[in-house]
Amino acid sequence: MTKRARIIYNPTSGREAIRRDLVDILNVYEQAGYETSAFATTPEENSARNEATRAALDGFELIVAAGGDGTINEVVNGIAGLENRPVVAIIPAGTTNDYARALHIPRDNPLEAAKVILKKKAARMDIGQANDTYFVNIAAGGSLSQLTYAVPSRLKSMYGYLAYVVKGAEMLPQIRPISVRIEYDDGVYEGKTALFLLALTNSVGGFEQIVPDAKLDDGKFTLLVLKTSKLNELMGIMSEVLKGKHVDDPNILYVKSNQVKITPQADNKNPVMINLDGEYGGDAPVNFVNHQEHIRMVANVDDMTDDQFIAPSVDL
């Protein structure tokens, strides 16, 4: 029986590169043995999410999320709560493309990214859940996490990752800590933080050293809490991050945990906003749960190291 694939693509991502290569991309998935069709997302809320749910319930074996990290997040949210979940492939066309970086998917050529399916390998990937919403790469809160919202879409499209670097340098003097209670598997942190981060991969905001020991299928978040907001200490930590040496810094809490609960304290002047995969995901309090090996993701497994996984890859 012929397998079916549904490409869900954002027609405005990556300067419309996906739409330009769409016929060739369709042919790649046909070559891989899938009867393939495509759906262009619309400005309607949850367009990609709703189409992913529809395709999964209709029995499609493969869903291709073609766009930025936000498109991938929507597709996963569309299928994560279902009992029968299709395999997911990604064709990156966003700004940082963190998830594609973690899976060693080509990030500057949609057609080459599509061709990874020809290797017929998938990884069993953990995903996170924040209250009722799923995420695939990161959840974050605190002043530093608001950088994602502060960079206009126009600048992200024009300058990509450089836009974040420039905006980050501009915002550093304005960083103000928030008060939180963070409960995790082996303890509690209660105090000030400029940033808390729950990571599922080693690729965060274009950096691969923020979580140097990340495993993609161990059922654990890497929880990182930045305990300082002093400019000189932040600059020192940023220098350590570039070398992956920050994990032992006394101003950093760095632990592994399956579940995390974030509760804002009463002395905060503003709500504690939660960032999920680069988009606003509601306000704390929030309960995070890691769902181990929940989604099968097409990955360039041959280029990945064995220490990134616990379980072997899946043959498609």
Q: Are strands 133-135 and 121-130 parallel, antiparallel or unpaired?
A: antiparallel
Report the C-alpha gap between 166 and 137 in whole angstroms: 23
Residues 8 and 52: beta-carbon distance below 8 Å: yes
Q: Which of 286, 22, 24 is nearest to 131 (CA)?
A: 286
Q: Which of 112, 208, 233, 279 is catalytic?
A: 279
Backbone angles phi, psi at 85, to 5 degrees: -110, 130
Report the C-alpha gap between 260 and 185 in whole angstroms: 7
What number of residues does the chain have?
316
CA angle centred on 304, ends 296 and 5, rounded to 5°: 30
Report the C-alpha gap between 61 and 14 in whole angstroms: 26
Report the C-alpha gap between 237 and 169 in whole angstroms: 14
Active site residue 279: yes
What amino acid positions are annotated as catalytic residues? 279
